[in-house]
Amino acid sequence: MRWNNRLKYVFLLPAVLWVLAFTVFPLLYSLRLSFFNVRIGQEDIFIGLSNFARAFSDVNALNAARVTLIFVVGGVVIQLLLGLAFALLFSRPLPARNVLRTVMTLPLFATPIAVGFLFFTIFYEEGGLINGLLGVKIPWLSDPDLALFSVMLVDVWQWTPFVFIVILAALQGIPEEYYEAARLESASSWTLFRFITLPMLQPTIILVIVLRVAEAFKVFDIPFTLTAGGPGASTQVFSMFIYRTSRRFFDFGYGSALAFLLLIVVLFLLMSFFKRIRQVYQ
């Protein structure tokens, strides 16, 4: 019996070492770096909270935060509306419904890097698929406003199926008896949606928002491959700004501080959403 008790710790040891080596240690080391001025070939200099204060006066950091906020709010709202609309559509009897559901989920299986390069060819101004079909020259990736919209559109294309799957599963879990009782009262389709479907879906919708907001705030692959943050800095999201600060300009202390600021913002938003979920279930 004593050997069996010790054996479970032996099996747990690789997982514990993995977490310590690749999660806890990098997190703590990055936290340490955020309080130092770290430059290659120079001794680390302790500067306290200066890196964090610098972020609030850095024009490039503020612009990256603005771009990220537009990307997150716009993208998640569109994904939520489209996912809900498709879920309502495919919850009804349709010809080849199962096949269409399968097709809807295909973008989820594509890697973001491949998606970025694919849409680069689609949005290309000279001879791209869209401009070629339309016979026009729309500057999808060279106009600052259109470039951000294009990046957002690609993210919507890839992640709307996730919202669709989750909400569709929640829709199928709503008891049909609720709708039958409401129809006996001659309730309209809008009334059914407003007073039955939407309230029953509220916890699921909040959960979807939590997952998508957390993922969207750390987006990197699609903007990096599609526009590399350009033109100018119009599509430079916060994670890309952190990458350039740390890996291109080798300002590791400031980059670590930026990363922790992003982490704090995401944690605050997640805590707010989870608080809302608890209120729904109480």
pLDDT single digits (tens) 6-15: 777 777 788 8
The pLDDT assigned to 282 comes to 63
Give a yes or no: residue 81 inside a domain.
yes
The pLDDT assigned to 179 comes to 83
Give a yes or no: residue 152 inside a domain.
yes
User: Strand 36-37 to strand 45-46: parallel, antiparallel, or no bridges (unpaired)?
Assistant: antiparallel
CB 213 within 8 A of CB 68: no
Give a yes or no: residue 224 inside a domain.
yes
The pLDDT assigned to 82 comes to 95
Q: Residue 125's CB: how many other CB atoms inside 10 A?
A: 15
Give a yes or no: residue 190 inside a domain.
yes
Q: Residue 68's CB: how many other CB atoms inside 10 A?
A: 23
From CA 213, how far away is CA 80, in angstroms rounded?
11
Q: Which residues pair with 45 in a beta bridge?
A: 37
Give a yes or no: residue 14 inside a domain.
no
pTM: 0.88
The pLDDT assigned to 3 comes to 55
The pLDDT assigned to 2 comes to 57
HSE-CB of 101 using CA atoms within 13 angstroms: 18
Give a yes or no: residue 192 inside a domain.
yes
Q: Residue 133's CB: how many other CB atoms inside 10 A?
A: 8
Residue 219 φ/ψ, nearest 5 degrees: -60, 140
Question: Is the dihedral angle over the CA atoms 112, 118, 121, 124 positive or is it negative?
Answer: negative
Q: Which helix (H) or strand (E) holds 189?
A: helix 189-192
Q: What is the CATH number of the domain that holds 64?
A: 1.10.3720.10
Q: Give the length of the chain.
A: 282
Give a yes or no: residue 103 inside a domain.
yes
202 burial type by CB count under 10 A (0-12 exposed, 13-18 middle, 19+ buried): middle
From CA 90, how far away is CA 23, in angstroms rounded?
40
Helix segments in 34-175, DSSP class H: 50-55, 59-90, 97-105, 112-123, 129-134, 144-172
CB 222 within 8 A of CB 115: yes
Give a yes or no: residue 18 inside a domain.
no
Residue range of the domain that includes 251 = 56-281
Low-confidence ranges of the chain (pLDDT < 70): 1-5, 280-282
From CA 125, how far away is CA 209, in angstroms rounded?
33
Number of domains composing the chain:
1
9 burial type by CB count under 10 A (0-12 exposed, 13-18 middle, 19+ buried): exposed
Closest by alpha carbon to 219, among 34, 51, 33, 75? 75
pLDDT single digits (tens) 197-208: 888 998 889 889
CB 277 within 8 A of CB 203: yes
